[in-house]
Structure 1
Amino acid sequence: MADITAPPSETQLKSLLRALDDLDLPALTALLRPLSAIQVVDVLERLDVHERAVLYRILPKDRALEVFEILPPSLQGDLVGALQDDAVAALFADMDPDDRVELLDELPATVAGRLMHGLPPDERELTAVVLGYPQRSIGRRMSPEFVSVRPTMTTAEALTRVSAGLDDAETVYMLPVVDDERVLIGVVSLRRLLTAVPGTTIVEVMRPPHWARATEDAETAARRCADLRVLALPIVDNETRLVGILTVDDALQILETAESEDQARIAGTEPLRRPYLTAPVVSLVRSRVVWLLVLAIGATLTVQVLEVFEATLSEVVTLALFVPLLIGTGGNTGNQAATTVTRALALGDVGPRDLGRVLLRELRVGLSLGLLLGGLAFAVTSLVYDRSIGTVIGLTLVSLCTMAATVGGAMPLIARAIRVDPAVFSNPFISTFVDATGLLIYFTIARAVLGI
């Protein structure tokens, strides 16, 4: 049985590209027919805007909508610009409100306004509800289409309501329970409804709810949904009135996007927000050049430190040989600590309130690493050069690893406390900081030990 999640084979891709070049539409239709929606998306991500539009137009209507909903919002925006207005309007109207809002964020205001104006009144109202929340809040990503039940209903009455709302609801596997004021008071699973004794009321089978406020950060709410292992998380307003739900698939998508952003910023780039092969070269340059300029300016601190200790280097030239080793080790130690703590922050394992505990923990880790690496460096360097140089390198590694691990562990927590993305404070800035301070430590120890 074919794996519908596996990328198309090289032979399939070459055949598709050849048919596209020749504009052989019957051949394209035949080649696309055996591919799953996920595989079609994989093909579309490898094409330019024009080719993508040609390929997309020949998909059957049902398959086209399925593919469109899987596409990243950036590519959805590209397709909207390439397709005819009537085709776009039909696609836009068939989308779920939360997916529709994500697409609107990618479009120019004039295009977004035109699409909103073309929606049926009920769909426009649902979309406007989601659009009314802050940009990165979970209210912006929730679905306002759900089925709720009342505590006084019997399980049979609840199942009747579920059946009536199947076509519109985002999910019916988890049902919020609300009172007459729409205040969330519980949740009940579809499984409990189906297995309950006839005549049982909802209040007898419901359980206490977990929920998130609509104004909460989207990543925080998505993490809660994933940690609780629930199929859907109710979203409420400030009065705990139900306004929407976050399904587990949307939560995982939010977490995947956040993870991609963190990884990009840790590496010193800005996230592309679109598949790599579809990103223009200009976008790739723009995502990297700012960080390179910032880091280049930061690196001038290292140059200035070397200038200050130029006389020391001229007296003991051997010291210069170890500069790359020491600053590299310090930077790597700091980056390891920062990456570990940033990940712990994302998972909710630590928070700014744990700064003291993290500092103490990383200080001990850094000191242990420094003693191990410093002891090894002392032994090897003493054999190759002399004991005094070995002492300088050994003591520097002990001090440098301790300092780098402590600073690397603290910076993400400080960033979270001042409401800055912790990933931004991770590898790039820590490397620059550790380079300069590491050299200060190195040459200060060298002067003291060698008496120069």
Structure 2
Amino acid sequence: MSEISLSQLQDADRDAATKAVEDAMDGDLDLPELTTAVRSLPASWVVEILDRLSSKRGAVLYRLLEKEQALEVFENLDPSLQGDLVGALQDDDVAALFADLDPDDRVELLDELPATVARRLLQGLPPQERALTADILGYPQGSIGRRMSPEFVAVRPEMTCAEALRRVSEHLDDAETVYTMPVTDAHRVLVGIVSLRDLMKAPVGTAVAEVMQRPLDVRATDDAEESARRCADLKLLALPVVDNENRVVGILTVDDALSILESADSEDQARIGGVEPLRRPYLTAPVTGLVRSRVVWLLVLAVGATLTVQVLEVFEATLEQVVTLALFVPLLIGTGGNTGNQAATTVTRALALGDVRPRDLGKVVFRELRVGLLLGILLGSLAFAVTGLIYGSDIGLVIGLTFVSLCTMAASVGGAMPLLARVVRADPAVFSNPFISTFVDAAGLLIYFGIAKAVLGI
């Protein structure tokens, strides 16, 4: 049993409240008491509870929420969990929920649903909402057009600030945001942006053209992550989205931009670690889904490791002459792989932040070469001292020189891979990890045994 009762939920902290509701769902349900308790919780707490429940139990809990609370909770769930919940709720509940969502949120949910369910939900929408949603669905997957909101307030440059504020007040209920607005001409072409603060601060008779700022925008077909990064870098509450003729077709709000960046960062971190992103909370992911997210990478890395085995086979005679060399193989290839992955992770992050671009390949490689060389000298000096005392100066020199060469090579390759991936339009996180693991292991052994043969004369 939980440490607190359901009647104490409102005064409990988040973790205690979550545990209490989970325990109540696992035990004998007292629905009236649970209903009262859950309705007293913030929406963000309910989202965290649903993240930990199965779809069936989540649907039971979700039905206990009040209508406005239920919509807020649903909007904040991961799209994959929204899809699970849609499958567990009754058709009438789903239709009402779907109609209340913003068009961009609807599109995210539709991407998670079977085609037949998605088609049925779209057909049940009012004509105007269906048209808005269809417009967003018309943009390519991965573009910012799929994540923008078509519900916005636009003002004209010839309007007075008082007229613009009246226009804003008329659309408070149906606009995604009113804190930053596009300024358009008669043909919806973007000519500037203006903030609500500037409109309220200016004298009522001032023209919007006098207080608006230069237009900042993204194209609807631009990459979603790059557009979200631009919005975050510019520190804008909303960024206009335009078509090829510079007409405003939607806006990207800062909360949607941050959501895109968070999702992209989670995806990159997963792939750097050699797994596919789950796209749902861990506890709600099926075991088969966890297996699928890992098995492909394990197979790729296992196939890549056969190259290392072949290199060892080539130098089998060398190992037979100096068996001591075999002791250091795991240490050296492990250090090489770690050095390469460190460089790749650093450069991948710099790419995501816009600090470096593919054209900076030469600068990045030269910088990482120097970093790798210094790391190699530090590690190699230590290895020479320790190994030389135990196995003799010849072996110590082999290990020390290998560290210097291996770290220099691994850092250079690791720094270059993300940039080369971007050039060939591959995900840097996907491209870098398996290549580094395979190439650095095999090349590192060639360097190691080459140095050993030269120093030891074998």
TM-score (norm 1): 0.97
- The aligned counterpart of 2:125 is 119
- The aligned counterpart of 2:141 is 135
SS of structure 2 residue aligned to 1:81: helix
Q: Note if 1:260 corresponds to 2:266.
A: yes
Aligned-pair distance for 1:124?
0.4
The one-letter amino acid paired with 2:249 is: V
- The aligned counterpart of 2:351 is 345
Q: How does 1:92-241 map to 2 (within 5 A)?
A: 92-241=98-247
Computed over aligned residues only, the root mean square deviation of the Cα atoms, in angstroms, reads 1.5
Separation (CA, whole Å) in 2 of partners of 1:405 and 1:425: 16
Aligned residue among 437, 443, 447 for 2:449: 443
Aligned-pair distance for 1:267?
0.5
- The aligned counterpart of 2:342 is 336
Aligned-pair distance for 1:21?
3.4
Question: Contact 1:267–1:428 (CA<8 Å) still a contact in 2?
Answer: no
Which region of structure 1 is more displaced relative to structure 2, 266-275 or 419-428? 419-428
Question: Contact 1:20–1:51 (CA<8 Å) still a contact in 2?
Answer: no
Which region of structure 1 is more displaced relative to structure 2, 110-119 or 369-378? 369-378
Question: Contact 1:188–1:205 (CA<8 Å) still a contact in 2?
Answer: yes
Q: Deviations over 1:267-290 (max 9, x none)?
A: 000000001110000000000001
- The aligned counterpart of 2:79 is 73
The one-letter amino acid paired with 1:434 is: V
Q: Note if 1:18 corresponds to 2:24.
A: yes
Q: Note if 1:317 corresponds to 2:323.
A: yes
The one-letter amino acid paired with 2:204 is: P
Aligned-pair distance for 1:31?
2.2
Label 1:3 to 1:18 Cα distance change in 2 as closer, same or farther (>3 A): closer
Label 1:41 to 1:214 Cα distance change in 2 as closer, same or farther (>3 A): same
Which region of structure 1 is more displaced relative to structure 2, 16-25 or 119-128? 16-25
- Which runs of structure 1 show a deviation greater than 6 angstroms over 4 or more consecutive aligned residues? none
Aligned-pair distance for 1:100?
0.4
- The aligned counterpart of 1:83 is 89
- The aligned counterpart of 1:393 is 399
The one-letter amino acid paired with 2:425 is: R
Question: Contact 1:214–1:235 (CA<8 Å) still a contact in 2?
Answer: yes
Aligned-pair distance for 1:35?
1.3
SS of structure 2 residue aligned to 1:9: helix
Separation (CA, whole Å) in 2 of partners of 1:16 and 1:347: 39
Separation (CA, whole Å) in 2 of partners of 1:377 and 1:7: 51
Separation (CA, whole Å) in 2 of partners of 1:382 and 1:19: 64
Label 1:307 to 1:254 Cα distance change in 2 as closer, same or farther (>3 A): same
- The aligned counterpart of 2:64 is 58
The one-letter amino acid paired with 1:451 is: G
Q: Deviations over 1:376-407 (max 9, x none)?
A: 11111111111111111111111100000000
SS of structure 1 residue aligned to 2:27: helix
Separation (CA, whole Å) in 1 of partners of 2:200 and 2:317: 83
Q: Note if 1:424 corresponds to 2:424.
A: no
Which region of structure 1 is more displaced relative to structure 2, 33-42 or 220-229? 33-42
Question: Contact 1:16–1:31 (CA<8 Å) still a contact in 2?
Answer: no
Question: Contact 2:9–2:37 (CA<8 Å) still a contact in 1?
Answer: no
Aligned-pair distance for 1:198?
2.0
Question: Contact 2:160–2:206 (CA<8 Å) still a contact in 1?
Answer: yes
TM-score (norm 2): 0.96
Q: Deviations over 1:145-199 (max 9, x none)?
A: 0000000000000000000011010000001000111110100000000010120
The one-letter amino acid paired with 1:327 is: I
Separation (CA, whole Å) in 2 of partners of 1:68 and 1:144: 20
Aligned residue among 47, 61, 67 for 1:41: 47
SS of structure 2 residue aligned to 1:119: coil
SS of structure 1 residue aligned to 2:269: helix
The one-letter amino acid paired with 1:202 is: V
SS of structure 1 residue aligned to 2:250: strand
Aligned residue among 253, 275, 280 for 1:274: 280
Which region of structure 1 is more displaced relative to structure 2, 370-379 or 36-45? 370-379
Q: Deviations over 1:201-253 (max 9, x none)?
A: 00000010211000000000000000110000100001111000000000000
Aligned-pair distance for 1:431?
1.8
SS of structure 1 residue aligned to 2:182: strand
Aligned residue among 355, 366, 376 for 1:360: 366
Q: Deviations over 1:64-105 (max 9, x none)?
A: 001000000000001111111111000000000000000000
The one-letter amino acid paired with 2:293 is: S
SS of structure 2 residue aligned to 1:76: helix
SS of structure 2 residue aligned to 1:426: helix
What count of residue pairs does the alignment treat as equivalent? 450
Q: What are the ranges of 5 or more consecutive residues in structure 2 without an aligned counterpart?
A: 1-7
